[in-house]
């Protein structure tokens, strides 16, 4: 039985990955800070290891694969992004080395935020110069650099994932609540295209990293091959909820003002918010389109879930779990 270590197992992506690997017959070890707050891992047949990225506990020496899915996506302190996403990645890999653990592969879950936005509707390739524009994106890129320092020690694969969504995700929930009210909010009047990744497709990509023989240090964009606009997402959500939508164009200055106010509230409460000036900076770009040809050719990855089907499943889960 193959043994895997997962960081970030209690999160949206990590919990889905844990369930999938258990179903595939893997033995799963999860690095967990608080064993009294297991969230989606509660009741699963896994081995819990108490610790975090900066305090890695003693690990079994026979770990076959490491999935590094832990990461910080929101914070009221910019330095925290680098502490977790850069220093945490370095700490994990140094711990593997110091404990003489040589996995068959280490899979680092990065983000297309590390490569930066696409320009003029042209999809961004892995070989393009990385130009992250937010602290989150820059910290994920630095995490990639830390991982690549070890590519001669053990096989490293980096997945730059597009905006992921699905059951258990809260990032899209605010927008879906807007759709539930019957409003199709559009940012400005210019259409912007985005690559998305449904959680089931992402988990398949992560699994393929254990099955395919790829060179250490390779980076792959993981996303659906057809980009979409926020209008496309909103209409699919409206259809799933049986809503007739009224389109509302929200001026960019108004969104920016809301982002600044949200930043102010965050400084007072010390609680990160979904909207801030960094998120606004991402939203106002021409697009975030990832070229997926390399993943298709070398990982045999091709997203299977059309947008409407993925949104339908997500909305149904939200409704059934009283999130929406």
CA-angle at 102, arms to 153 and 302, nearest 5°: 85
Q: 274, 100, 101, 273: which is closest to 171 by C-alpha?
A: 274
Cα separation, 179 vs 239, in Å, equals 10
Mean pLDDT of 187-199: 87
In tens, the pLDDT along 47-78 reads 999 999 999 999 999 999 999 999 999 888 99
In tens, the pLDDT along 257-312 reads 777 777 677 778 777 777 777 777 777 788 999 999 999 999 999 999 999 999 99
Distances (CA, A) of 33 to 11, 52, 79: 12, 6, 20
Please state, for a pLDDT cut of 70, what percent of the chain lies above it: 98
Per-residue pLDDT at 188: 67
Per-residue pLDDT at 249: 80
Q: How far, rounded to the nearest angstrom, does the alpha carbon of residue 12 sit from its chain's CA centroid?
A: 9
Length of the chain: 324
pLDDT(137) > 70:
yes
Mean pLDDT of 240-245: 95
pLDDT(100) > 90:
yes
Mean pLDDT of 122-148: 96
pLDDT(153) > 90:
yes
Q: Is the dihedral of CA 239, 288, 11, 60 positive or negative?
A: positive
Fold of 3-171+195-227+289-305: Rossmann fold (3.40.50)
Per-residue pLDDT at 186: 78
Mean pLDDT of 231-244: 95
Angle, helices 173-180 vs 230-241, to 10°: value is 60
Per-residue pLDDT at 270: 77
């Amino acid at each position: 039985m193959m043994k895997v270590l997962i960081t970030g197992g209690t999160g949206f992506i990590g919990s889905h990955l844990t369930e999938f690997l258990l179903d595939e017959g893997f033995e799963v070890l999860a690095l967990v800070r608080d064993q009294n707050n297991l969230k989606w891992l509660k009741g699963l047949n896994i081995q819990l290891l108490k610790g975090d990225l900066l305090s890695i506990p003693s690990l079994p020496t026979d770990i076959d694969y490491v999935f590094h899915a832990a990461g910080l996506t929101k914070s009221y302190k910019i330095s925290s992004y680098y502490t977790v996403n850069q220093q945490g990645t370095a700490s994990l890999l140094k711990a593997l080395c110091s404990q003489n653990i040589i996995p068959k592969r280490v899979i680092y879950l990065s983000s297309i935020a590390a490569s930066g936005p696409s320009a003029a509707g042209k999809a961004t390739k892995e070989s393009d110069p990385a130009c992250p524009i937010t602290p989150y994106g820059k910290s994920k890129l630095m995490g990639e650099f830390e991982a690549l320092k070890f590519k001669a020690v053990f096989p490293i694969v980096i997945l730059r994932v597009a905006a992921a969504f699905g059951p258990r995700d809260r990032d899209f929930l605010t927008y879906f609540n807007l759709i539930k009210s019957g409003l199709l909010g559009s940012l400005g009047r210019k259409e912007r295209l985005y690559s998305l990744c449904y959680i089931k497709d992402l988990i398949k990509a992560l699994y393929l990293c254990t099955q395919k023989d790829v060179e250490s240090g390779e980076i792959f964009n993981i996303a659906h091959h057809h980009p979409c606009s926020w209008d496309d997402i909103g209409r699919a959500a409206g259809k799933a909820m049986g809503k007739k939508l009224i389109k509302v164009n929200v001026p960019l200055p108004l969104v920016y003002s809301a982002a600044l106010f949200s930043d102010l509230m965050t400084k007072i409460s010390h609680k990160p918010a979904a909207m801030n000036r960094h998120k606004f900076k991402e939203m106002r770009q021409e697009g975030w389109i990832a070229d997926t040809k390399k993943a298709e050719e070398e990982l045999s990855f091709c997203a299977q879930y059309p947008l409407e089907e993925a949104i339908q499943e997500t909305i149904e889960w939200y409704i059934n779990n009283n999130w929406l």
